[in-house]
């Protein structure tokens, strides 16, 4: 299975939920409904569709949005329209609606995880899975629109205020933002035990959208390294740097520009936090859906239709419904699907024109390539780690590395949220440059291999 791939069951659930979320977002923004692609193109299409919604409503420069979402420069087919005051009003309304909706979704997830799985419970959750996934993804989509849109709009306000290096200033203003991804590292850095960490964050996974992949609570490594004595992870210092940067840019701005700029900085920080919380809520919902899938597999095993639990992920949601309602009551009804179906690989959005600085200071250190999780902490200690992407399974290693370069991702990626929280030097760049030493400057976006 490729790193970014979806099992057949995940395709039948996740892709329609993403489409429903996009329809809901565009409807709320009074934009034209999107045209949906096939499953294999869904990941790249989703990012482009989101970018077009942002450009249209936030009066945003398409080039700036393309960098934030790491899209090719010519990928966005949209132009600014509408009034920014209306957009800011909608943004505030979405933020106010997020908390009660997230609370509802988490209550549902907790109820599902607590079930003993009678036949009636299996059938009840069967009817709830799809609308709950669509609701959770709609909140994530709204918060992504808000977070990226507010960030790019903040950059534009900084430029109008005459702030030198507006992109670098925007990056520094967001240092220290607290999100679930950052709290995962905070908890480990503060000495939370492995079992306590697993109970708090075990609903996360390497690639959470794929329901076939175990959550960390199911297979959390038992040999995570303990926090080092010295670390580049400095949340308190990151918050102080953000406060200093805010004071600097407000002094630079004219007195007429300061109120709007201050409000936009606050909105952007709140939006990044809200996006992280929405993603964590989605992870809870996905964990509950996975638990229901495994309960359905157990039900199928009793009738000899399912031989191994992971076979359930080879079926599509409508086929599982037929199995649970008794229409498919024999192994022959599912044998062909289980034997022949494969996961759907999700290609990237395409090569981007520019790197994206996320956090941290100019840094020179040895580099190391990490295709997967490091084998040990000393592999990354004091080094700039170059890797495709990160996940919650990387949590303890953030405390050892000197810096991070992700070859894939966006302003909202897992690694970006972690780096902002702790002020860890980070760049998103498609280059696979690894050297000894390397030089990274997130504020200017250059990446150099010195030898």
- State the CATH number of the domain containing residue 387: 3.50.30.10
Q: Kindly report, residue by residue over 383-406, the tens digit of the pLDDT.
A: 999 999 999 999 999 999 999 999
Q: Do residues 393 and 278 both lie within one domain?
A: no
Examine residue 128 and state whether it is found in any structural domain, yes or no.
yes
pLDDT of 349 reads: 55
Within 13 A of 73's CA, how many CA atoms are on the CB side? 4
Helices then strands, each counted (H, E), the chain: 15, 10
Which residue(s) pair with 411 in the sheet? none
pLDDT at 1: 37
Do residue 140 and residue 269 come from a single domain? yes
- Boundaries of domain holding 372: 356-449
Residue 194 lies in a domain: no
Q: What is the pLDDT of residue 305?
A: 93
- Both 128 and 30 in one domain: the answer is yes
Q: Which of 271, 291, 311 is the last residue of a domain?
A: 291
B/e letters for 364-399, b = 16+ CB within 10 Å, e = fewer, are ebebbebeebbeebeebbebbbbbebbbbbbbbbbb
What does the pLDDT read at residue 2?
42
- Same-domain status, 154 and 270: yes
| 286 shares its domain with 366 | no
**244, 269, 291 - which closes a domain:** 291
Ranges of the chain whose pLDDT falls below 70: 1-3, 39-43, 347-353, 432-433, 435, 445-451
Q: Is residue 200 part of a domain?
A: no
Whole-angstrom Cα distance, residue 106 to residue 111? Answer: 9
Domain membership flag for residue 143: yes
C-alpha pair distances (Å), 353 with each of 67, 249, 350, 356: 8, 28, 10, 10
Q: How far apart are CA 300 and CA 329, in angstroms?
A: 9
Where among 265, 291, 317 does a domain terminate? 291
CB atoms within 10 A of CB 341: 16
Average per-residue pLDDT in the chain?
91
CB 197 within 8 A of CB 250: no
Cα–Cα nearest to 296, from 2, 3, 1, 9: 9
Let me know whether 29 and 128 are in one domain: yes
Whether 136 and 35 share a structural domain: yes
Nearest CA-CA partner of 426 in 393, 414, 437, 200: 414
Percent of the chain beyond pLDDT 90? 75
Residues 283, 403, single domain; the answer is no
pLDDT of residue 120: 96
Count of domains observed in the chain: 2
**Cβ-contact 412, 435 below 8 angstroms:** no
Q: Is residue 26 part of a domain?
A: yes
If asked whether residues 285 and 145 sit together in one domain, one would say yes
Whether residues 158 and 11 fall in one domain? yes
Q: Is residue 41 located within the same domain as residue 154?
A: yes
| pLDDT reported for residue 446 | 63
Q: What per-residue confidence (pLDDT) applies to 352?
A: 60
Within a domain: 333: no
- Do 138 and 12 share a structural domain? yes
Whole-prediction pTM value? 0.95
- Evaluate whether 378 touches 96 at the Cβ level (below 8 Å): no
Q: Is residue 337 part of a domain?
A: no
Residue 154 lies in a domain: yes
Torsion sign (Cα): 27, 30, 36, 40: negative
């Amino acid at each position: 299975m490729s790193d970014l791939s979806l099992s057949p069951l995940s395709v039948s659930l996740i892709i329609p939920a993403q489409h429903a979320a996009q329809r809901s977002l565009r409807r709320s923004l009074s934009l034209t409904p999107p045209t949906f692609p096939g499953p294999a193109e869904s990941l790249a299409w989703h990012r482009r569709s989101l970018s077009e919604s942002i450009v249209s409503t936030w009066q945003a420069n398409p080039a700036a949005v393309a960098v934030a979402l790491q899209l090719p420069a010519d990928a966005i087919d949209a132009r600014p329209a509408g009034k920014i005051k209306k957009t800011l009003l909608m943004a505030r309304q979405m933020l106010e609606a997020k908390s009660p909706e997230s609370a509802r979704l988490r209550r549902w997830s907790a109820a599902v995880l607590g079930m003993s799985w009678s036949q009636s419970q299996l059938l009840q959750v069967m009817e709830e899975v799809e609308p709950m996934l669509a609701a959770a993804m709609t909140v994530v989509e709204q918060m992504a629109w808000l977070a990226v849109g507010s960030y790019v709009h903040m950059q534009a306000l900084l430029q109008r205020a005459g702030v030198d290096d507006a992109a670098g200033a925007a990056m520094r203003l967001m240092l220290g933002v607290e999100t679930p991804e950052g709290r995962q590292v905070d908890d480990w850095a503060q000495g939370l035990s492995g079992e306590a960490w697993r109970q708090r964050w075990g609903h996360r996974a390497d690639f959470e959208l794929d329901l076939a992949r175990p959550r960390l609570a199911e297979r959390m490594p038992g040999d995570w390294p303990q926090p080092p004595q010295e670390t580049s992870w400095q949340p308190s210092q990151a918050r102080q740097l953000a406060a200093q940067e805010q004071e600097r840019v407000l002094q630079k701005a004219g007195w007429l520009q300061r109120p709007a700029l201050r409000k936009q900085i606050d909105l952007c920080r709140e939006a990044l936090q809200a996006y992280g919380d929405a993603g964590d809520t989605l992870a809870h919902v996905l964990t509950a859906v996975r638990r229901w899938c495994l309960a359905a597999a157990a039900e199928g095993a009793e009738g000899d239709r399912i031989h191994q639990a992971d076979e359930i992920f080879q079926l599509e949601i409508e086929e599982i419904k037929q199995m649970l309602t008794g229409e498919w009551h024999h192994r022959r009804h599912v044998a062909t699907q289980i034997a022949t179906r494969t996961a759907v690989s999700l290609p990237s959005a395409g090569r981007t024109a520019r790197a994206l600085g996320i956090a941290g200071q100019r840094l020179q250190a040895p580099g190391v390539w990490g295709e997967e999780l490091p084998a040990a902490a000393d592999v990354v200690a004091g080094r700039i780690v170059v890797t495709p992407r990160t996940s919650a399974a990387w949590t303890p290693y953030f405390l050892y590395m000197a810096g991070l370069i992700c070859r894939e991702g966006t302003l909202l990626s897992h690694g970006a949220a972690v780096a902002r929280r702790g002020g860890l030097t980070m760049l998103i760049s498609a280059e696979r440059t690894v050297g000894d030493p390397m030089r990274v400057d997130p504020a200017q976006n250059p990446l150099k291999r010195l030898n």
